Amino acid sequence: MCAVRDWEWTDKASLVRHANNRNVWRNLLDRFPHPFTEADAESWFALVETMSPRTHWALDVDGEAVGGIGIELGHGNYAKTGHFGYWLGESYWGRGIMSAAVRATVEYVFSRIDVVRLEAPVFEWNPPSMRVLEKCGFVREGVLRRSAFKDGQVIDTVLYARIR
Ligand SMILES: CC(C)(COP(=O)(O)OP(=O)(O)OC[C@H]1O[C@@H](n2cnc3c(N)ncnc32)[C@H](O)[C@@H]1OP(=O)(O)O)[C@@H](O)C(=O)NCCC(=O)NCCS
């Protein structure tokens, strides 16, 4: 149904098509640009190429990259924590794709990368993402009150984490 694989430069058109969407951007950190242009896609592929190990992957449905998933490793005292993030093109929402992708990626990360904790902060207006995390064994650890400024609003963040 869905494969988690490396990003390829040939994904440029599909990345722009699916990422250039306000409803996707609204649930992600602002470093995910909006509008999302071809230049943004090229910067992304160039960045991913420099990563060793690669910790960001494309979600592939029928040979097309329709979303992304990955972790950012923490630093210093937080080096064994990974910050987990993901997004899917809106036309693919509601089919169980992300739940399957999160499950597979968590298993891969815990078996290959030296992290003991994966954490995912979710904006308060995103219950579907909270549900995905709950289905994949993440625990709701708390509410970071009024911790984020997104789309012109100060909002709560709900912190989810899964321990190896
Ligand atoms: C959040 C997102 C990743 C979900 O992907 P998806 O493939 O549609 O998710 P799934 O189909 O696997 O699961 C969604 C779950 O949320 C549930 N859901 C949908 N709308 C809901 C709502 N308003 N309230 C509560 N649960 C809801 C679905 O019923 C489903 O749960 P179920 O399997 O128990 O029925 C996708 O919508 C997305 O990419 N959004 C934009 C980016 C984003 O939010 N990234 C995450 C940032 S933390």
The tens digit of pLDDT for each residue in 9-51 reads: 999 999 999 999 999 999 999 999 999 999 999 999 999 999 9
Residue 123 Cα, ligand 1 centroid: separation in angstroms? 13
- d(CA 73, CA 94) in angstroms, rounded, equals 29
Give me the CATH topology for the region 3-118.
Aminopeptidase (3.40.630)
Task: State phi, psi for 56 to the nearest 5 degrees.
Answer: -130, 135
Helix 38-50, helix 12-19: angle, nearest 10:
120
- d(CA 53, CA 137) in angstroms, rounded, equals 25
Ligand 1 pocket mutation pick from 92, 131, 140 by most atoms within 8 angstroms of CB? 131
19 CB near ligand 1 (under 6 Å):
no
Name the residue ranges covered by the structural domains of the chain.
3-118
- Predicted local confidence at residue 59, as pLDDT: 98
Share of the chain above pLDDT 70, in %: 100
120 CB near ligand 1 (under 6 Å):
yes
86 CB near ligand 1 (under 6 Å):
yes
Q: What's the average model confidence in pLDDT over 134-140?
A: 98
